Amino acid sequence: MARKFFVGGNFKMNGTISSVKEIVNNLNNAQLDSNTETVIAPPALYLLLVRENLKKEIGVAAQNVYDKPNGAFTGEISVSQLQDSGIAWTILGHSERRTILRESDEVVASKTKYASDNGVSVIWCCGESLEEREAGKTLDVIAGQLAALKKQLGSDWSRIVVAYEPIWAIGTGKVATTQQAQEVHASIRAWLKKEVSDKAADETRILYGGSVSEKNCKDLSKEKDIDGFLVGGASLKPAFVDIINSNL
C-alpha cells in the first residue's frame, strides 16, 4: 500500500489571533497538493479559531493531550474535548516536551495509547541529542523510545504517524543530511517490521523534522523512507505551502 505523503506544521508557542488568521487564509487560498495530507498544530488557545476557519481538507492537531478522560488536571486538555471541537490529531513526545518538561518515554507512550485508543490520531516524535549522535547511540536511543511505545500500544499502529526529529537540528538551522535522515528512517521501518508487524512497517508514515525549509524539502522528500515532514518555524511562513507541495 502506498503511504500518503504527510506534512505537519507545529506552530509551538507562537502566534496571535491576527497572525494565525493570516496563516489560515494563506492555506485556504493556496493550491495544495491533493496527494499530501496536511495537518497544522496551533497553540491550544487557537485550536477552535483554526478549525472553524480552515478548509476541511486540512487537519488540525493539538500540541499535547492528557491520558485521562476528564477531571482535576489543571491546565490539561482531554481527548473528548479535542473531539468535541473537531480536532482529530495531536502531537506527542516532541523533544521540547521530553527535555524541557521532563516527559518520560512512558508518559509519552501512555498519552499516545490513550489518544489513539479513543479516536485521536497521533504524530509521535522521537529523536536523539547531539551528544547521543556523536557517541554513535542514535539508533539505540530511538529503538528505546519505540520500545516504550510498543509496550503500551501493542500491534495497532494505525493511528500513529512517527516523526523523527534529531534534537540537534530543531530550530538550529542544522539539518540532517539526506543520507543521515534516510538511514534513521530506514532503521525505524526495520524496527517496526521486526518488533511489530510487516503491516506496521509498510503502512506507518515516518516524517522528518528539524529545520525543514522550502530549500531542503525537495531532496529529503525523494528518499525512500521519508514520508513527509513535521515543520516548526517554517510553518508560520508563506513558504510552508512550498513544503506541502514538495512531493509534486
Write a three-state SS string for the chain: CCCCEEEEEECCCCCCHHHHHHHHHHHHHCCCCCCEEEEEECCHHHHHHHHHHCCCCCEEEECCCCCCCCCCCCCCCCHHHHHHCCCCEEEECCHHHHHCCCCCHHHHHHHHHHHHHCCCEEEEEECCCHHHHHCCCHHHHHHHHHHHHHHHHCCCCCCEEEEECCHHHCCCCCCCCHHHHHHHHHHHHHHHHHHCCHHHHHHCCEEEECCCCCCCHHHHHCCCCCCEEEECHHHHCCCHHHHHCCCC
> Is 165 an annotated catalytic residue?
yes
Is 185 in the active site? Answer: no
* Residue 18, pLDDT score: 98
Sorted by where each starts, the structural domains of the chain and their CATH numbers stand as 5-237 (3.20.20.70)
pLDDT (tens place) for every residue of the chain, 248 residues total: 689 999 999 999 999 999 999 999 999 999 999 999 999 999 999 999 999 999 999 999 999 999 999 999 999 999 999 999 999 999 999 999 999 999 999 999 999 999 999 999 999 999 999 999 999 999 999 999 999 999 999 999 999 999 999 999 988 888 889 999 999 999 999 999 999 999 999 999 999 998 899 999 999 999 999 999 999 999 999 999 999 999 99
Q: What's the predicted TM-score (pTM) here?
A: 0.97
Give me the pLDDT at residue 173, please: 85
The residue annotated as part of the active site, out of 37, 132, 165, 185, is 165
